[in-house]
Amino acid sequence: MRAAMYVLMSAVQWVSLVVGPSSLIAAAVVLLIASLFYALAGLKNQEFVGSKTLGGQGVAQMIV
């Protein structure tokens, strides 16, 4: 599911480049690479792992 969302967000960035070239190409490429990694993890049946370093529920626990 995450891979599909990243592909969708990447597609939006690629479509926005039709208007004219911009720095959004970097976002499109990074999102596409991220979707490939999420798809690979999904094919290998790996679970998503949250991280306190990157944010998520771990940050809320650190504040409290």
- Predicted TM-score (pTM) of this structure: 0.69
Dihedral sign for Cα 4, 58, 51, 28, please. Answer: positive
| pLDDT tens-digit map of 14-26 | 998 888 888 889 9
pLDDT at 40 over 90: yes
Q: Which of 35, 50, 32 is nearest to 4 (CA)?
A: 35
Q: What single string gives the DSSP state of each residue in 1-64? A: -HHHHHHHHHHHHHHHTTT---THHHHHHHHHHHHHHHHHHHHTTPPP--BTTTBSHHHHHHH-
Query: What's the pLDDT at 1?
Result: 82
